[in-house]
Amino acid sequence: MSRESAPDLDARAAELDRAHVFHSWSAQGALQPFVIAGGAGCTVWDHAGHRYLDFSSQLVNLNIGHQHPKVVAAIQEQAATLATIAPATANLARGEAAKRITDRAPGGFRKVFFTNGGADANENAIRMARLHTGRDKVLSTYRSYHGNTGAAVVATGDWRRVPNEFARGHVHFFGPYLYRTEFWATTPEQEAERALTHLRRVIEAEGPASIAAILLETVPGTAGVLLPPPGYLAGVRELASRYGIVLILDEVMAGFGRTGEWFAFDAYDVVPDLITFAKGVNSGYVPTGGVIISDDIAADFDDTVFPGGLTYSGHPLAMASIVATLDAMADEGIVENAATIGREHLAPALEKLAEKHDIIGEVRGTGVFWALELVTDRETRAPVPAAVMGRVKSELLARGLLGFTADNRIHVVPPCMVTADEVAEAITAYDEVLGLDLT
């Protein structure tokens, strides 16, 4: 491809997109799509060769980075061998993928139900919980995102739920978020204790015998990288066990290295009943997701038909990409790298930014999963307006950094294989932009 033709290719890509592509969560008329032609590692570029450091991991899913050669080769090899097969068959790639996943899960999880992504993973986990308990209600937090399908979007706690409330039996409650506490708490321990009391009262008020599941993101991601305070997840586990409620932990965004652990819940010494995953399991190279099922729940369907299925469940190309991804992550120490980068580079650098820039109200995160909460005033903690966040995103892009913004936050979420030098480059861009007059 000649360099002279590159600007025309960028223009053509944008023109075709505007003419024919209907985008998610967007008013279509105002869109000006950003063209990406290729990528490698933590970098993407357009047809003209303009390069950008990807600190969004696209939609916080690209844990192994762009175009990892082992994953690309595995997909190519599988496509040449068997490009697709029905889910009712046995296939070696599918079995190997399921084994790789269950090997990373806690003891007592030997089965995986594969889906096309995270939304239908949560959808099917809810279905399993209802069938297992014979109950209907699902409890989830207001600050959450669980997907865009029928039950998953109603389990979601943010604004996207409201126009889509067609599923039944969903109840929301407030999870812990000390910076904007709903419970007048002043310490993490107090926040956890009061949030658990609130959840217990919701369970009691709704009727424990009517509740099938509590569905939680282990670390709420889109809602703000909200690390659970000490004791909270253990307390939720105890309440679920006490009342015979299935605990579903949504690891779609937080799992497979994002927090510096294979599963985010590994850091909290808590074992759920069902685990949902997608995104990081193969970095989205081929759409896939699934539910890791505890033996107790899986046994329900030994002699009873599970009333669910998908044409592309366990698709061979996706399965080959999972095997290659998880093997490469283990062989190359990518999860350990995420932990080290978070502890030794991102944490201190982001704290220094907060010391320097009053617009940063709070820094929180772990591994390669961080958020900077931007405020107009540190005392009142008033969020910066949307126009400021739009300016932040455009100024970062102008400095060659592809950022991720949500509400009044910058989410600092590079691939798990990011280097210290790349972190330093990104920090320079954040520093320059946050030092501007953004009003």
CATH number at residue 85: 3.40.640.10
Rounded to whole angstroms, how far apart are CA atoms 198 and 181?
12
- Does residue 281 sit in the same domain as residue 420? no
Rounded to whole angstroms, how far apart are CA atoms 270 and 290?
20
- Does residue 222 sit in the same domain as residue 310? yes
Confidence (pLDDT) at 4: 53
Identify the bridge partners of residue 333 per DSSP, sorted by sequence position. Answer: none
The answer to whether 294 touches 128, Cβ cutoff 8 Å, is: no
Last residue of a domain, one of 310, 331, 352: 331
Q: Is residue 12 part of a domain?
A: no
Confidence (pLDDT) at 439: 81
- Does residue 289 sit in the same domain as residue 223? yes
pTM of the full predicted structure? 0.96
- Does residue 243 sit in the same domain as residue 392? no
Confidence (pLDDT) at 30: 85
Contacts (Cβ under 8 Å, ≥6 apart) of 128:
113, 246, 274, 291, 293, 297, 300, 306
Rounded to whole angstroms, how far apart are CA atoms 337 and 147?
28
246 is written with which tokens?
A: 């299935």
**Lookup result for tokens 């820094």:** 363
- Does residue 218 sit in the same domain as residue 360? no
Q: Is residue 439 part of a domain?
A: no
- Does residue 47 sit in the same domain as residue 166? no
Q: Is residue 18 part of a domain?
A: no
Q: Which of 243, 184, 183, 193 is nearest to 214 (CA)?
A: 243
Rounded to whole angstroms, how far apart are CA atoms 162 and 241?
30
Last residue of a domain, one of 313, 331, 349: 331
- For 142-155, write each residue's pLDDT tens digit: 999 999 999 999 99
Q: Is residue 261 part of a domain?
A: yes
- Does residue 158 sit in the same domain as residue 256? yes
The answer to whether 202 touches 174, Cβ cutoff 8 Å, is: no
- What stretches in the chain show pLDDT beneath 50? 1-2
- Does residue 178 sit in the same domain as residue 135? yes
Confidence (pLDDT) at 71: 98
Q: Is residue 22 part of a domain?
A: no
- Does residue 230 sit in the same domain as residue 161? yes
**Lookup result for tokens 């990518």:** 334
- Does residue 265 sit in the same domain as residue 383? no
The pairing of strands 401-402 and 51-54 is parallel
- φ/ψ (deg, to 5) at 363: -115, 130
- For 295-318, write each residue's pLDDT tens digit: 999 999 999 999 999 999 999 999
CATH number at residue 418: 3.90.1150.10
Distance of CA 367 to the CA centre of its chain: 13
- For 359-383, write each residue's pLDDT tens digit: 999 999 999 999 999 999 999 999 9
Identify the bridge partners of residue 216 per DSSP, sorted by sequence position. Answer: 249
- Does residue 278 sit in the same domain as residue 295? yes
Range of the domain at 348: 36-67+333-434
Give me the number of domains the chain comprises.
Answer: 2
Q: Is residue 30 part of a domain?
A: no
Q: Is residue 10 part of a domain?
A: no
- Does residue 321 sit in the same domain as residue 372? no
Contacts (Cβ under 8 Å, ≥6 apart) of 185:
178, 191, 194
Last residue of a domain, one of 311, 331, 351: 331
355 is written with which tokens?
A: 């010391």
Single-letter residue type at 386: A
Q: Is residue 23 part of a domain?
A: no
